[in-house]
Structure 1
Amino acid sequence: MPTFTDPARDAGEAYEALRGLAHATRTFESPADTYAVIGDLLGGLRSLRQVLDQLAAAHLNHQHHVTDECREYSGGAAEALAAADKLHQAGTLIDQADDRLSAAMTHSGRIVWNPQDRLVERWAGIVFLQGEDADRVLDLIDAKGVKACIDHLSQWDYGAETTDAAMVNGDVHDSAPVYAGDRQAETGDYAMTYNPHAGHVSLYRRHMIRAEDAIDPPAESHVPAPRSTPTRESATRRSAVREGGWFEHPGVAAVKQARGLSL
């Protein structure tokens, strides 16, 4: 606790308090607390400015009553004047720091740390192909490159309709899935994952959703099973793709059938 009467003791406590603050500010559990910390630092900086002036005054007031290490009064006076001058210069620099810290506090006060409309990135599945359907696309990659293939597959992206189908099918991911041996290429908002050896191709589109609608991933990451052996989900998808055309997402096919859009 400050004594308000013992400069040496209070200076020691101020030093320990700053050490503690330096340790505590390594992380902020609530970033909004930074505004209050800046405000307290600003108050402390102004007190420090006052302390520097008072230290300088103490040196000036006693300049004629001190000596240097050689017991010379003239030397002691010169050292006291030099110390006071440096303390005044430090005070001038504190004024500049005060201006910068005040500006930082103004900007920090304008921040909304937890906006309700914050968006997070997710990746919605557009199409998944394997077998002969994937082979044709892999041939297209060899012939014209990955960008041309992504542009081609993106023609089967029906926007919100495809996104809704991906949501229903659970085909929305924190990042575009990449399995062992897969290759990946991105163009704009699209990411294509393909594996010539396993014989599958997937296309995903970046989709932004509200942060409060996002579901946190499980604590333990799930290692997906190899795709070389089709699972029930894979078989269902492949069947739906063939029924709706080469690249049509199974969810989109179902929506189109319900709307009477399929042939």
Structure 2
Amino acid sequence: MPTYHDPLQDAGDASAALRGLAHAGRVFDNPPDTYSVLGDLLFGVRSLRQVLDQLGSAHLAHRGRAHDDDGDQAIGAAEALAAADDLHHAGTLLDGVEERVNAAMTHSGRIAWHTPAQELDREAVSTEAPRRWISVVFLQGSEADEVLDLIDRDGADAAIEHLRNWDYGDETTDAALENGYVYDEPPTGQLDRVITDGDYALTYNPFMGHVSLLRAHPAAMSGPGPDETGVVPAREAISGVGPLDSSTPRYSVTPASARAQQGPAVVERDWFAGPARSAGSAGRGLSL
């Protein structure tokens, strides 16, 4: 994991990660995966360009300490200037690389990859029960940034474990069914990444700044109820659009919240908000 403060360790980790990608990328069994890999590489090229500029600036800033093996400072300073010049030139050349990778990603994003016929035949005879997905929580803005930092630091599994705090079991299921937060597949947009862990699916996009956790629910396959008239399109799902039609209120009262309203001092719970906090508690910040 990146340290964000030790360039030696982070450079070694980046080199090892690229070697691993070069080995793993020899075969792409699922061609749609190439689009996600291109997105990560594009981000990596931009970061590499920044690193080259930083290395060049370091040579310039410390050229007064540069000497050759014989202790000649003038020669050492000249070598530092030459190194800085080549590094900045390399960074400029990467602008063209970024442009080409970005163009390739645009073309790749327009491809609809079809499943081979033999795989379709295997899927036709599959006995696995189909699943649908209900939304547990959708975060964007600063709350999503905290979870994205957690993913960078501790991995997607830690983020899933953290977001499971928003899952209230049957109450979350009832709220999702009543409000139409039910999907045939986890909704995704461009550059979204999907991580599945058992009955949970984590979708996140570090570029757009949003995070979502969904839970598989076989019981949702029993046909739409009066408030479940269809499946929310991915574009609406990732932008936080709620009901499926105009007749469905965005925040319907769930059976659990109806029971809660019977008590004099109980406030209706928002099933898609974070866990309750006391008024004096600090913000839910995540340390780096």
Q: TM-score, normalised by structure 1?
A: 0.44
Q: Which has the larger radius of gyration?
A: 1
More helix per residue: 1
Q: TM-score, normalised by structure 2?
A: 0.40
